[in-house]
C-alpha cells in the first residue's frame, strides 16, 4: 500500500510540474506541449490508425531482427564457449565490438542492402547479436557441468544434447543477456527508423518534428517507452518467474 | 542374467585366491577379456561385464606438474555383481566411474564392457551422481523419461515405463513435481528411476547416498538391494563409507590414496539382507578400515596441508570431453 502511495505521489508531482511549466507558457506550446495536448495526439494517432500501423510495422521488424539475433547468437555463443581457440580469438573481438553503437553500421547497411527494410534489420541484428552471443557464452559457462555429463550419460548427443540439455540448463543464466539483447534491438530499430523514413514508430516520431508538432513527438516517445516496458515487464519478467518456479530459485 | 552370475564358477580371474591379507596392486599375468572367445551363451560367464585393464590417468596440477591420479587399475566385474569401491576422498574413485561411463578418457589402459573397449558414453552404463544431476527444468516424470526420449522410444511406451519405474521407487504421486520440490532422498530415488528407465546393464553409482540422513540412507539401501536382486543389473558403487560398502557389496575393492591403486579386493560373504548395524558388518568394516588407515591418514594429512585449497582435485577438470 505504502509503495502504491509513493508511486502516486511521485507521478502526480511529475504531472503537476509538467502542467505548471506548460501553463506558465515560458515556451510556446508547439515547443513545450501540455499533457492534454499529448493525450489528444495519442487519441488522434490511434484514431486514424497511424500509430497502430507504426506499431505493427516496428514490432514486426524488431521480432524478425531479434529472432535472427537469437538464432545466430546461440550458435556463435555456443561455439565461443566450447572452443578454446574461438574463445581466445573471437571472445575479445565480441566484447570490443559491443562498444560500437549499432547505428554505426547504418552507412554500411545502406551500401550493402540499399535503402530498404533489410538495412534496418541488419542494424537491429548488429545491435542485439552481441548481447545474445555473450549471454549464450556466459550461460553455457556458468551452467553446472553435471547437466551436460548427465545428458550425455543418458544418451543425448549433438543437436539433441544442445536442445534438450545445454539450452534449458543455461537459460536461467541467459535471461538477463537476452533481455539486454532485446533492449538493444528495440533501440537500434527506432534509431534506424528515424534515419530511414518508412512507416514504423521512428518515422512517426520524425514526422512530428517535421510538422513542428511536439505533442505528437512526445506521444510517440511514450509509445516507444511503453512497448519497451511492456515487453520487459511481461515477456522477460514472466520468463524469469517461470524459470524460478521450475528451478526452485528464490527471486533475486 | 542373475542366474548366470550366481552359477558363476570360481575360476574367475581376480577375486579367488589370497583374499586376505592385502593383494599386490598390479597382478601379473591374467587372461585378457578380449582374448576370451565369444561363443554361444557361455559369453556372459567368460567375458567380464566390465573390465578395467591397466588404467592410468594423469593430469596437470595448477602448478603445472604432471600428477598421477589412477595407477594401473585392474578390475573385473561379473554380470550381475554388486561391487563397492572404497577409498579415502581424493583417491580417484569417482573418476574411475566417469571413465567407465565414458565421460572422460584415461591416459592409458582400457575400459572394456562386454569385452569391447568403451568409446564415449553409452546408455548401457548409467552413472548416478552424488549430486543427483537431475534436470531442474523438467518434472520428475520427464526426468525419468529423458533417456528413453533420447533413444527414440515411442511416447506411449515411455509413459508406461516411466510409471513403472516411478512405482518401483515409490514416487508415483510425484510424477508432475519439479525436482526442487522433493527431499534429498526422493531426488536420489528419481535419479535411480531415471537410470533404470534407460535399462542399462551396468549402474555406476558415485556416492549416491553420501548427502542423505541416516534413516533415508537405510531405506534406500534396502530399496537398492531389492531393485538389484530383482533386476539382476551389475552395480559398481563408489563410497567412502566402509560399512555401506559391506552392507551392499558382493565384493569390496579398496583404493589407495594418490595415486589411486587397487590395494586389495575382499569378497563379502555375509548372508543378505545385511544391516549396517550387524556386528558381522561392523567386524568386516573394522578389518577394511585397518587396511585403509594409512591411506586415510595420508589423505587427511594432504588435506590439512593444503589448507583452504579446494580438496576436489583437478583430476576431473581438464579431461572432460564435451
Domain membership of residue A5 (yes or no) is no
- Candidates B118, B133, B148, B195: best to mutate against A (most CBs of A within 10 A) is B133
Residue B60 has pLDDT above 50, yes or no: yes
Which residues, 6+ apart, have CB-to-CB distance to A92 below 8 Å?
A: none
Residue B52's domain is classified under what CATH number?
3.40.50.300
Residue A184 has pLDDT above 50, yes or no: yes
Confidence at residue B5, expressed as pLDDT on a 0 to 100 scale: 43
Confidence at residue A65, expressed as pLDDT on a 0 to 100 scale: 92
Nearest beta carbon to residue B133 from set A149, A155, A247: A149
The per-residue pLDDT for range B62-81, each reduced to its tens digit, is: 777 777 777 887 888 888 88
Separation of alpha carbons B18 and B9, rounded Å: 17
Least confident range of A239-248, B12-21, B44-53, B244-253: B12-21
Domain membership of residue B131 (yes or no) is no
Percent of chain B with pLDDT over 70: 80
Is B304 an 8 Å CB contact of chain A? Answer: no
Number of domains in chain A: 1
Element (H, E) at B203: strand B202-206
Helices (H), chain A: 2-24, 35-47, 50-82, 84-97, 106-113, 117-142, 145-153, 158-161, 167-195, 200-210, 214-230, 237-247
Residue A216 has pLDDT above 80, yes or no: yes
Average pLDDT, chain A: 86
Domain membership of residue A14 (yes or no) is no
3-state SS class at B41: helix
Most confident of A59-68, A243-252, B110-119, B189-198: A59-68
Report whether B243 contacts B285 (CB < 8 A). Answer: yes
If you average pLDDT over residues B219-226, what whole number do you get? 85
Q: Closest approach of chain B CAs to the CA of A218, in angstroms?
A: 43
Range of the domain at A186: 49-247
Is B184 an 8 Å CB contact of chain A? Answer: no
Element (H, E) at B109: strand B108-113
Separation of alpha carbons B102 and A124, rounded Å: 43
Confidence at residue A66, expressed as pLDDT on a 0 to 100 scale: 92
Residue A13 has pLDDT above 80, yes or no: yes
Residue A55's domain is classified under what CATH number?
1.10.3720.10
Number of domains in chain B: 1
Range of the domain at B60: 1-6+46-124+237-322
Separation of alpha carbons B249 and B270, rounded Å: 10
Domain membership of residue A252 (yes or no) is no
Confidence of residue A1 (pLDDT cuts 50, 70, 90): low
Strand partners, B70: B57, B260
Average pLDDT, chain B: 74
Confidence of residue B322 (pLDDT cuts 50, 70, 90): very low
If you average pLDDT over residues B24-36, what whole number do you get? 36
Per the listing, cell 552370475 goes with B5
User: In A, which residues are within 8 Å of B99 by CB distance?
Assistant: none
Nearest beta carbon to residue B121 from set A145, A153, A164: A153
The per-residue pLDDT for range B155-200, each reduced to its tens digit, is: 888 888 888 888 888 888 888 888 888 888 888 888 888 888 888 8
Separation of alpha carbons A192 and A195, rounded Å: 5
* pTM, entire model: 0.72
Contact between B181 and A165 using a beta-carbon 8 Å cutoff: no
The per-residue pLDDT for range A84-120, each reduced to its tens digit, is: 888 888 878 888 888 888 888 888 888 898 888 888 8
Strand partners, B53: B110
Separation of alpha carbons B144 and B198, rounded Å: 8
Report whether A159 contacts A128 (CB < 8 A). Answer: no
Confidence at residue B94, expressed as pLDDT on a 0 to 100 scale: 82
Which residues, 6+ apart, have CB-to-CB distance to B272 below 8 Å?
A: B225, B229
The separation between the first and the last C-alpha atoms of chain A, rounded to the nearest angstrom, is: 22
Least confident range of A188-197, B83-92, B247-256: B83-92
Report whether B75 contacts B57 (CB < 8 A). Answer: no
User: In A, which residues are within 8 Å of B125 by CB distance?
Assistant: 153
Domain membership of residue A77 (yes or no) is yes
ipTM for the assembly: 0.72
- Candidates B121, B123, B129, B183: best to mutate against A (most CBs of A within 10 A) is B121
The per-residue pLDDT for range A39-68, each reduced to its tens digit, is: 888 898 888 888 888 899 899 999 999 999
Amino acid at each position: 500500500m505504502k509503495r502504491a502511495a509513493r508511486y502516486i505521489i511521485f507521478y502526480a508531482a511529475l504531472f503537476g510540474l509538467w502542467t505548471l511549466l506548460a501553463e506558465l507558457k515560458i515556451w510556446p506550446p508547439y515547443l513545450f506541449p501540455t499533457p492534454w495536448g499529448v493525450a489528444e495526439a495519442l487519441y488522434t494517432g490511434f484514431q486514424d490508425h497511424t500509430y497502430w500501423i507504426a506499431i505493427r510495422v516496428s514490432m514486426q521488424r524488431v521480432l524478425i531482427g531479434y529472432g535472427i539475433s537469437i538464432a545466430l547468437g546461440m550458435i556463435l555463443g555456443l561455439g565461443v564457449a566450447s572452443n578454446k581457440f574461438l574463445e581466445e580469438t573471437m571472445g575479445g573481438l565480441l566484447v570490443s565490438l559491443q562498444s560500437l553503437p549499432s547505428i554505426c553500421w547504418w552507412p554500411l547497411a545502406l551500401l550493402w542492402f540499399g535503402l530498404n527494410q533489410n538495412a534496418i534489420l541488419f542494424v537491429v541484428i548488429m545491435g542485439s547479436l552481441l548481447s545474445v552471443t555473450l549471454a549464450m557464452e556466459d550461460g553455457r559457462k556458468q551452467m553446472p557441468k553435471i547437466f551436460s555429463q548427465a545428458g550425455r550419460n543418458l544418451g543425448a548427443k549433438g543437436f539433441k544434447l544442445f536442445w534438450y540439455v545445454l539450452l534449458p540448463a543455461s537459460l536461467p543464466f541467459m535471461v538477463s543477456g537476452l533481455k539486454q539483447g532485446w533492449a538493444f534491438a528495440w533501440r537500434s530499430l527506432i534509431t534506424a527508423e528515424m534515419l530511414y523514413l518508412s512507416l514504423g514508430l521512428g518515422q512517426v516520431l520524425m514526422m512530428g518534428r517535421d510538422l513542428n508538432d511536439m505533442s505528437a513527438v512526445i506521444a510517440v516517445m511514450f509509445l516507444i517507452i511503453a512497448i519497451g516496458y511492456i515487453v520487459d515487464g511481461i515477456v522477460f519478467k514472466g520468463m524469469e518467474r517461470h524459470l524460478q518456479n521450475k528451478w526452485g530459485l528464490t527471486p533475486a | 542374467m542373475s542366474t548366470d552370475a550366481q552359477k558363476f564358477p570360481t575360476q574367475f580371474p581376480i577375486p579367488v585366491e589370497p583374499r586376505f591379507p592385502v593383494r599386490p596392486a598390479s597382478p601379473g599375468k591374467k587372461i585378457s577379456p578380449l582374448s576370451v572367445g565369444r561363443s554361444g551363451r557361455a559369453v556372459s560367464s567368460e567375458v567380464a561385464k566390465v573390465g578395467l585393464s591397466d588404467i592410468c590417468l594423469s593430469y596437470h596440477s595448477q602448478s603445472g606438474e604432471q600428477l598421477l591420479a589412477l595407477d594401473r587399475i585392474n578390475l573385473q566385474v561379473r554380470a550381475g555383481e554388486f561391487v563397492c569401491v572404497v577409498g579415502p576422498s581424493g583417491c580417484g574413485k569417482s573418476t574411475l566411474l566417469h571413465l567407465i561411463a565414458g565421460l572422460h578418457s584415461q591416459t592409458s589402459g582400457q575400459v572394456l564392457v562386454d569385452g569391447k573397449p568403451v568409446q564415449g558414453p553409452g546408455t548401457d552404463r548409467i552413472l548416478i551422481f552424488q549430486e543427483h544431476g537431475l534436470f531442474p527444468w523438467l518434472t520428475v516424470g520427464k526426468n525419468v523419461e529423458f533417456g528413453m526420449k533420447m533413444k527414440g522410444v515411442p511416447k506411449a511406451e515411455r509413459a508406461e515405463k516411466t510409471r513403472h519405474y516411478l512405482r518401483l521407487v515409490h514416487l508415483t504421486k510425484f510424477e508432475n513435481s519439479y525436482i526442487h520440490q522433493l527431499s534429498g532422498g526422493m531426488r536420489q530415488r528419481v535419479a535411480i528411476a531415471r537410470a533404470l528407465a534407460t535399462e542399462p546393464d551396468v549402474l555406476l553409482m558415485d556416492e549416491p547416498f553420501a548427502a542423505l540422513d541416516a534413516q533415508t540412507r537405510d531405506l534406500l539401501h534396502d530399496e537398492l538391494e531389492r531393485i538389484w536382486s530383482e533386476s539382476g543389473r551389475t552395480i559398481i558403487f563408489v563410497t567412502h563409507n566402509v560399512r555401506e560398502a559391506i552392507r551392499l557389496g558382493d565384493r569390496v575393492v579398496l583404493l589407495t590414496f594418490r595415486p589411486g591403486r587397487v590395494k586389495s579386493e575382499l569378497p563379502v560373504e555375509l548372508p543378505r539382507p545385511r544391516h549396517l548395524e550387524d556386528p558381522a558388518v561392523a567386524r568386516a568394516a573394522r578389518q577394511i578400515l585397518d587396511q585403509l588407515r594409512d591411506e586415510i591418514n595420508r589423505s587427511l594429512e594432504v588435506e590439512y596441508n593444503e589448507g583452504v585449497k579446494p580438496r576436489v582435485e583437478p583430476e576431473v577438470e581438464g579431461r572432460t570431453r564435451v
